[in-house]
Structure 1
Amino acid sequence: MSQKQPTINEVKQQLLAVISLDDPILTNYAADERKGVQRALKQTQQRIQTALDAEKAFQARLRFERRFWSRHEVVAGVDEVGRGPLAGPVITAAVILPHNFDVPLVNDSKQLTEKTREALYPQILAQAEAVSIGVGSSQLIDQINIYEATRVAMKRAVDGLAIQPTQLIVDAMNIPIDIDQTRLIKGDAKSASVSAASIVAKVYRDHLMATYDQIYPGYGFASNAGYGTKTHLLGLANYGVTPIHRKTFEPVKKHLHVGK
């Protein structure tokens, strides 16, 4: 008596446990002509290949860290978010990852969805050896310009680390601090440490701007993070400039006379 053929749902359940393209289960069902089985096989192969590609790319983003780790260096990735908005601070983050860090989805925050960033944020905080935030207020930005305020905020982030780094990997900036620095163009996509810093800075700032939205309603800060959207510009026209606006930025300047 021949063995009963598993149902398509049973096959799908078996395939959920498959994590390798050379798993015998894939071979066993390769000759199964049922469309549902073939569709499930294809989806499984795509899932595994996507994971393999993500892991390969993630390992490539650790190449700078590994080079420094091999020299017994303590590496911190540093990145910023919020240089372009009309309101709110520029936020920087410095992150020191452990040598066994393994969260392949950690990538340039701009390449990730909000949902993914929110999911990765606590994982980074839990696994990192040290994390620090640096803030450059709108007042500081108005005093010394956005570029210099970003440099100051980056220094504050590095200074705030509980562990002293010996090497910094920075996204294209020069931090005014006496620590060796590797500056990478689009570093948040080339270094896992900078990627982690970009996610931490982005999520931290988004949460902060959502809080400001409660304090200063009418500008849409929770949804636009202080960027010059239609809602934000309408708020400026109707309610004027708040204490978190960058008064040296256009078009904020022309609304300074508008009273609340």
Structure 2
Amino acid sequence: MNSFQNMTITSLKDYISTLDIKAYQDLIPDLKRDTRQAVQKIAKSLEKKVDARMIEIERIKRMKSIETSYYNNGIKKIGGIDEVGRGPLAGPVVTCVIVLKPDSNRLYVNDSKKVSKKMRESLCEQLLEDALDYAIGQVDNDGIDSLNILNATKKAMTDSLSTLSTKPDLLLIDALQIDSKISQKSIIHGDATSYTIAAASIVAKVYRDNLMQIYHEEYPEYGFDHNMGYGTAEHIKALYKHGPTPIHRRSFIKNIGL
């Protein structure tokens, strides 16, 4: 379509809503030739979206640079590992190891804490489609109390690795070293700088959040459906009122006098 001058603004917006953002670039010059102010605003809006997408494409390219360098040096399968739930007062620590196809290239992959709930859930589905294999590991509150949170996290990571059927040639891990015969590289802030580690953080976060939703149904007083076991004021108030549940970490809540 070369001209939109015979279309109403509503019809134009409806038409644009059917298009993929990749089509905007070809559309913008025609929109700019339309003299109507409303159409000019639409053109500027689409330009901003195109620019934002280009920035995101470049960010993902940078995030994948670590993996790309290893692929270029002959590494075939890279496993990313990350954890969620080291800080909460309740629930398990959960880890994910994921081995992605080298061509996985999902926009908006990032540290799970920087991604909205809706986007995390969408990305989780997309990343699992891209996975050659993945596995979840978890250590419950009793295990955390027994081992301490650092060792419990490492155990969850090695447990998840042991259940993979597709063994990676290399592990990229967020800020930890674990006991494994597989070559590994520990990356500080890896969930924000490595695409594969970020992918693992998203899958682990979605898994743990879903688990805490289930616990919320059993213990609704504590707000697990939105605090995910973290020590919010509401959660701590409920602890003082109702006492700890079987999923609370005794070694954590003793720090608040319980």
SS in 1 for 2:98: strand
Cα deviation for residue 160 of structure 1 reads 1.7
Cα deviation for residue 175 of structure 1 reads 1.3
Q: Normalised by the size of structure 1, how large is the TM-score? A: 0.89
Q: Which stretch has the larger CA shift, 4-13 or 190-199? A: 4-13
Q: Verify the 8 A CA contact 2:111 2:201 in the aligned structure 1.
A: yes
- Equivalent in 47, 55, 79 of residue 53 of structure 1: 55
CA distance in 2, matches of 1:108, 1:53: 17
Aligned to 1:182: 185
CA distance in 1, matches of 2:90, 2:172: 27
Aligned to 1:138: 141
Distance 1:10 1:223, change over 3 A: closer
CA distance in 2, matches of 1:34, 1:229: 51
Distance 1:209 1:102, change over 3 A: same
- Say yes or no: does 1:232 pair with 2:235: yes
User: How many equivalent pairs are there?
Assistant: 252
Cα deviation for residue 236 of structure 1 reads 1.3
- How large is the RMSD of aligned CA atoms in angstroms? 2.1
- Say yes or no: does 1:83 pair with 2:86: yes
- Say yes or no: does 1:148 pair with 2:162: no
Give the share of equivalent positions with the same residue, in percent.
Answer: 37
Whose helix fraction is larger, Structure 1's or Structure 2's? Answer: 2
Distance 1:169 1:240, change over 3 A: same
Cα deviation for residue 186 of structure 1 reads 1.0
Q: Verify the 8 A CA contact 2:77 2:100 in the aligned structure 1.
A: no
Gaps of 5+ in 1: 256-260
Map Cα deviations across residues 94-146 of structure 1 (whole Å, 9 max, x no partner): 01110121211221111111111111122222221111001121111111211
CA distance in 2, matches of 1:238, 1:133: 34
Instruction: Letter of the 1:233 partner, please give it.
Output: I
CA distance in 2, matches of 1:43, 1:140: 52
Q: Which stretch has the larger CA shift, 118-127 or 40-49? A: 118-127
Cα deviation for residue 54 of structure 1 reads 1.1
Distance 1:240 1:9, change over 3 A: closer
Q: Which runs of 4+ in 1 moved over 6 A?
A: none
Instruction: Letter of the 2:31 partner, please give it.
Output: Y
- Say yes or no: does 1:5 pair with 2:5: yes
